[in-house]
Amino acid sequence: MRMAAPMPREPVIALVNVTKRFPGVVALDGVGLELRPGEVHVLLGENGAGKSTLVGILSGRHRPDGGAVVIDGAARRLDPPRAALSSGIGTVFQHALLAPTLTVEENLLLDTPWWQRPKRAELRGQAHRLASELDVLVPLDARVSKLSPAERQQAEILRALLRDSRVLLLDEATSMLAPAGVDRLGALMGRLAERGVGIVLVTHKLREALAFGDRISVLRRGRKVGEIPPERLKGTAEDAPAAEIVAMMFGSAPPNLARQGSRAEALAARGRPVLKVSGLSLPPDRAAPGLSTIDLDVGAGEIVGIAGIEGQGQREFAELLSGQRRDGSGSIRLDGREIAGLTLAERRALGLRHLSDDRLGEGIAANLSVAHNLFLKRIGQRPFWRLGWERRRAIGKNAVALARAYDIRATSVDAPAGNLSGGNVQKILLARELDEGARLAICSKPTHGLDLATAAATRARIRGLAQRGAGVLLISSDLDELIDLASRIVVLRGGAVAGVVAGGSSAREKVGRLMAGAAA
Amino acid sequence: MSPQDLPADLGAARPWRPGKIFRWLALTLMPVLAALFGGGVILWAVGVDPLNYYGTVAGRGLLSPSGVQQTLTRMAPLLFLAAGLIVAFRAGLWNLGVDGQFLLGAVAAAASAPALAAILPSGAAILVAFSLAALVGAAWAMLPALLKAYGGVNEIVSTLMMTFLGVSLANLVVKLGLRDPETTVPQTRTLPVEDRLPRLFETTVSSGLLLGLFTIILVHLAMTRTAFGLRLRVMGVNPRAAIHAGLDLPWLTICAFALSAGLAGAAGAIEVLGIQGNVRADWNPAYGLLVVPTVLLARLNGFAAVGFVLLLSVLSIGGESAARRTGVPSAFTFVLVALVLVVLACSEYLDRRARNTPEGAA
């Protein structure tokens, strides 16, 4: 039973004004989305844009705090996951959810209710028919642990289809695949769409979105910032939607005119280099592209932006500079002094600071107090510790002063830092990294996931630090932020410098193209 | 944002709100009472009068003069074990091999003390034997520590496996190497009573009790008030934050293991030098796995641990007496401790759920 492709299609599932909050963060803010049968709908967005939360809602793992999920014209609940499955939504997660010690067939039979005898013959018949119709080869008798990532994914897709899914949700489906596998998946999605299955492909890769998508929705900071319908996607020239999407993904707000002055000042104030990196390299590994001979300098009072989409070596670069990892090669000079051989603590003592983007993961120790977190990188140092013993009054007094200065809102500095909202956690980190003696601050995604007020305050802190004569390396994928703050923007791609663009509103397009991988 | 959220009262200390005390009581005493009740049900089901059993336990463990002295003496090694576990658990390391470390420490002390007592004054002999036991205990934990520090090998498995090896090795050493030729029972040479740890005043309570109290309080202060303790705690609560802050995780792991296992070895020495005087082959009191839930119940707080160790001592000394009187095997103490642990886990879960619900809904 095939559906004719050009038929006008009613949405199978529609999200209406869906909102989801987590403590301190609004993950989704009034998002509307319509999934139509026979269409590959790409959800595009940076990490943290809200894609995973949306997948969580569609697969029944999260319940929306506001808005509705409409299926066949009626509002329905998709949680728990069982409800999503019975509503016909099959999800293939980023990391395969098959039992590795069982064969593919046994995995598929796991859906059998516990009181029934597994119907092996029937399953085999169905599986073979589906597999041959879709032209995929899934070895039913092979153990899952022996399969390649692409084969596992196909097995999962097969499982979703055997459950009669009307909608197939593919979460970062291409991230584990080799380029050839990506193309095969694209072809498979096309054949599935012909059968009338609605497909949601979640990705942060622009190229795949353009290659496979019939319709593209772009998420940014928890909001849907745009949707490109099939007629615009197919009708126009190759480049036009790409540029539009880059603008949507990384910020399309008009440049903030009020800030132009400060950037000009920053440009003028660029003094002798605080940081001089030459030939910094790191061999690639399975997860990251490594770094290839990066040269960079940051002048006193200068804010240099490091742009790039996720995973182009930004994290490794920041960690090599801060001393959190020391397996790279090359020279790092801080105020003229070679620091590549120094430990993290020694570098910090010289004024090198690192504001991590993984605030809860590595920034704070959530169970310890706000005060201890404020001095987490100074454990054992005077005046807070003497002869190894903690001086509670000194810690308490200074913590209260820092909390006031940085507007950290906590019931007490003795409260666990984990009780604070995301914005206040960031203020703890700002106080810890930017206060006193900072010569060069590496700021990784400093406003990522923050509300507007805290984001503005954070940018003001960073700007203030530069005005006091320190250098700042601003690592971000947010074009608005980079253009607002940085006087120069270095674009990283695949662990190498793809280009350097002078700051200013004209940089937006150039940086966007360099990030997306198009010719500059 | 309401006015009281403003930073004006940031420094205000508010240590004990009534709600906090109530929660602490609910989360600490309730599991104990619930476990005693559950144990009573089990006793009743097997035909023993629970009131009679608990009466005997309390009477023999706490109320009779000789019972209370035995109870206090039993606390000494348990306090050392608790101190050792607090170090490891606060550092986020599950040193579950304390029984092996304890027994090897005991054997080291039992082997060295009689020989040392012959050439050194009694106090010095005890000190040397004690230190040797701590070193042996620490050495036995080095393999799991190095594997954890540099290979990321799960320490729960490695320390548990090392404990089996340690118990067997202690046995072997007693039977083959250190056997006292003057007795038929396989055991080490007995340390004369005058060379043991002195007793307190006119009682039979070993001065090991004071050493244990001193040690656990010192450990508590070290963990909560020193830079070293804070580094271990940072590693315990968030190893990635510790790496980000530039702490040397492998070194801290090794230090924490050495301290923890050293204290377990010292516990063995206290038992031998203060109470037993020798080590018999096949002797393994398995205190370690009893102290683990005790320390967790005390939430890794040294002062609270003293109270719970006292309770554990009463149960185990009283339980041994009650075994003779009521016919309930002394292993019933294990049942009670296990029940405490189960109830503790359940109440912790309920508490976490109760606290998370309003936040999630907000």
Q: What's the length of chain A?
A: 520
> Tokens standing for B250?
């492998």
Q: What is the pLDDT of residue A25?
A: 66
Share of chain A above pLDDT 70, in %: 90
Q: What is the pLDDT of residue A236?
A: 58
User: Which helix (H) or strand (E) covers residue B288, if one does?
Assistant: helix B288-297
A38-52 pLDDT tens trace: 889 999 887 667 888
Whether B7 has its CB under 8 Å from any CB of chain A: the answer is yes
Phi then psi for residue A203, to 5 deg, are: -155, 160
Please give the Cα distance from A489 to A508 (Å, whole number): 10
Whether A114 has its CB under 8 Å from any CB of chain B: the answer is no
Phi then psi for residue B318, to 5 deg, are: -60, -40
B344 or A467: which leads in pLDDT = A467
Please give the Cα distance from B109 to B189 (Å, whole number): 11
CA end-to-end span of chain B, whole Å? 14
Positions of E strands within B115-252: none
Question: Are residues A400 and B5, on separate chains, in Cβ contact within 8 Å?
Answer: no
**Of A262-276, A303-317, A498-512, B86-100, which gets the smallest average pLDDT?**
A262-276
The residue whose two tokens read 């299609």 is A9
Burial class (CB in 10 A: 0-12, 13-18, 19+), A505: middle
Pick among A379, A398, A409 to test the B interface (most B CBs inside 10 A): A379
- Residue A20: its chain B contacts at CB < 8 A? none
Please give the Cα distance from A382 to B297 (Å, whole number): 35
The neighbour count for residue A129, using CB atoms within 10 Å, is 10
A326-341 pLDDT tens trace: 888 999 999 989 999 9
Question: A218, A304, A244: which is closest to A487 by C-alpha?
Answer: A304
A7 or A240: which leads in pLDDT = A240
Question: Are residues A396 and B11, on separate chains, in Cβ contact within 8 Å?
Answer: yes
Q: Which of A354, A364, A390 sits opposite B226 (nearest CB)?
A: A390
Looking at residue A53, its amino acid is T
Question: Are residues A412 and B10, on separate chains, in Cβ contact within 8 Å?
Answer: yes
CA angle B71, B73, B75 (to 5 degrees): 75
Q: Which residue of A has its CA nearest to B12?
A: A412
> Tokens standing for A29?
């803010």
Question: A349, A347, A300: which is closest to A324 by C-alpha?
Answer: A347
Question: Are residues B238 and A364, on separate chains, in Cβ contact within 8 Å?
Answer: yes
Q: What is the pLDDT of residue A139?
A: 83
Question: Are residues A396 and B12, on separate chains, in Cβ contact within 8 Å?
Answer: no
- Residue B244: its chain A contacts at CB < 8 A? 324, 354, 356, 362-363
Question: Are residues B7 and A385, on separate chains, in Cβ contact within 8 Å?
Answer: no
- Residue A364: its chain B contacts at CB < 8 A? 238, 241
The residue whose two tokens read 């109830």 is B343
- Residue B5: its chain A contacts at CB < 8 A? 409, 411
- Residue B231: its chain A contacts at CB < 8 A? 379-380
Q: What is the pLDDT of residue B247?
A: 94
Please give the Cα distance from B187 to B176 (Å, whole number): 10
C-alpha distance from residue A58 to each of A18, A163, B221, B286, B308 (Å)? 11, 16, 50, 52, 49
User: How would you classify residue A494: left for phi > 0, otherwise alpha for psi between -120 and 50, otherwise beta?
Assistant: left
Concatenate the DSSP letters of all residues of A495-515 into one string. Answer: TEEEEEEESSTTHHHHHHHHH
CA angle B316, B320, B326 (to 5 degrees): 125
Q: What is the pLDDT of residue B219?
A: 97
Asked whether A103 and A61 are in contact (CB, 8 A), the reply is no
B53 or A269: which leads in pLDDT = B53
Please give the Cα distance from A359 to A216 (Å, whole number): 31
Q: What is the pLDDT of residue A271?
A: 65
Q: What is the pLDDT of residue A3?
A: 42
CA distance B337 to chain A (A): 28
Whether B246 has its CB under 8 Å from any CB of chain A: the answer is yes
Question: Are residues B230 and A390, on separate chains, in Cβ contact within 8 Å?
Answer: yes
Please give the Cα distance from A131 to A115 (Å, whole number): 28
In this structure, the dihedral spanned by the alpha carbons of residues B125, B127, B129 and B135, taken in order and rounded to 10 degrees, is: -150
Whether A416 has its CB under 8 Å from any CB of chain B: the answer is no
Per-residue pLDDT of chain B (362 residues; tens, 9 = 90+): 333 333 333 433 444 456 777 777 777 778 888 888 999 999 899 888 888 888 888 888 888 888 888 899 999 999 999 999 999 999 999 999 999 999 999 999 999 998 898 898 888 999 999 999 999 999 999 999 999 999 999 999 999 999 999 999 999 999 888 777 787 888 888 888 888 888 777 777 788 899 999 999 999 999 999 999 999 999 999 999 999 999 999 999 999 999 999 999 999 999 999 888 888 888 888 898 889 988 988 889 999 999 989 988 998 888 888 888 888 888 888 888 888 888 878 887 887 777 654 333 32
Q: Which residue of B has its CA nearest to A66?
A: B361
- Residue A345: its chain B contacts at CB < 8 A? 246
- Residue A400: its chain B contacts at CB < 8 A? 7, 10-11
Q: What is the pLDDT of residue B4?
A: 33
CA distance B246 to chain A (A): 5
Q: What is the pLDDT of residue A346?
A: 92
A384-426 pLDDT tens trace: 999 999 999 999 999 999 999 998 888 889 988 988 877 889 9
Mean per-residue pLDDT for A282-300? 86
Q: Is the ipTM of this complex over 0.90?
A: no
Q: Which residues contact B134 (CB under 8 A, 6 or more apart)?
A: B105, B262, B263, B265, B266, B269
Please give the Cα distance from A196 to A258 (Å, whole number): 51
CA distance A200 to chain B (A): 28
Please give the Cα distance from A71 to A150 (Å, whole number): 31
Please give the Cα distance from A328 to A281 (Å, whole number): 6
A186-239 pLDDT tens trace: 888 888 888 888 999 988 777 788 888 889 998 887 888 888 888 777 765 556
- Residue A366: its chain B contacts at CB < 8 A? 237-238
Q: Which of A354, A364, A385 sits opposite B241 (nearest CB)?
A: A364
- Residue B228: its chain A contacts at CB < 8 A? 380, 388
Question: Are residues A379 and B230, on separate chains, in Cβ contact within 8 Å?
Answer: yes
Please give the Cα distance from A262 to B356 (Å, whole number): 44
> Tokens standing for A337?
């002094």
Pick among A376, A387, A407 to test the B interface (most B CBs inside 10 A): A376
Taking all residues of chain A, what is their mean pLDDT, rounded to a whole number?
83
The residue whose two tokens read 């049900």 is B41
Please give the Cα distance from A140 to A127 (Å, whole number): 9
Question: B102, B84, B80: which is closest to B94 by C-alpha?
Answer: B84
The model carries a pTM of 0.77
Q: What is the pLDDT of residue A313?
A: 87
* A407-427: b (≥16 Cβ within 10 Å) or e: bbebbbbbebbbbbbbbbbbb
Asked whether A44 and A245 are in contact (CB, 8 A), the reply is yes
Question: Are residues A379 and B13, on separate chains, in Cβ contact within 8 Å?
Answer: no
Q: What's the length of chain B?
A: 362
Question: Are residues B1 and A409, on separate chains, in Cβ contact within 8 Å?
Answer: yes
Residues of A numbered 308-367 whose beta carbons fall under 8 angstroms of chain B's beta carbons: which are they?
A: 323-324, 343-345, 348, 354, 356, 358, 361-367
Q: Which of B230, B241, B359 sits opposite A23 (nearest CB)?
A: B359
Whether A404 has its CB under 8 Å from any CB of chain B: the answer is yes
> Tokens standing for B188?
């080490």
Task: Kindly list the strands in the beta sheet with A40-44, ordered across the sheet, starting from the edge strand earlier in the chain.
Answer: A89-92, A167-171, A198-203, A40-44, A215-220, A223-228
Asked whether A301 and A512 are in contact (CB, 8 A), the reply is no
- Residue B252: its chain A contacts at CB < 8 A? none
Question: Are residues B6 and A365, on separate chains, in Cβ contact within 8 Å?
Answer: no
Please give the Cα distance from A255 to A507 (Å, whole number): 11
Q: What is the pLDDT of residue A245?
A: 79
Q: What is the pLDDT of residue A520?
A: 33
Q: What is the pLDDT of residue B358?
A: 38
- Residue A404: its chain B contacts at CB < 8 A? 7, 10
Residue A5 reports pLDDT greater than 50: no
Question: B271, B101, B125: which is closest to B195 by C-alpha?
Answer: B125
Whether B18 has its CB under 8 Å from any CB of chain A: the answer is no
Task: Kindly list the strands in the beta sheet with A337-338, ordered across the sheet, starting from the edge strand earlier in the chain.
Answer: A291-299, A273-282, A329-334, A337-338
Please give the Cα distance from A209 to A191 (Å, whole number): 17
Q: Which residues contact B303 (CB under 8 A, 6 or more apart)?
A: B217, B220
Residue A355 reports pLDDT greater than 90: yes
- Residue B247: its chain A contacts at CB < 8 A? 379
Question: Are residues A365 and B234, on separate chains, in Cβ contact within 8 Å?
Answer: yes
Please give the Cα distance from B176 to B198 (Å, whole number): 30
CA distance B5 to chain A (A): 6
Q: What is the pLDDT of residue B84?
A: 97
A115 or A239: which leads in pLDDT = A115
> Tokens standing for A434?
């930017």
Mean per-residue pLDDT for A465-483? 89
Q: What is the pLDDT of residue A178?
A: 67
Question: Are residues B238 and A362, on separate chains, in Cβ contact within 8 Å?
Answer: yes
CA distance B90 to chain A (A): 12
Please give the Cα distance from B184 to B254 (Å, whole number): 41
CA distance A424 to chain B (A): 12
> Tokens standing for A230?
């099939």
Please give the Cα distance from B38 to B54 (Å, whole number): 12
User: Which helix (H) or strand (E) covers residue A491, if one does?
Assistant: strand A488-493
Whether B154 has its CB under 8 Å from any CB of chain A: the answer is no
A179 or A484: which leads in pLDDT = A484
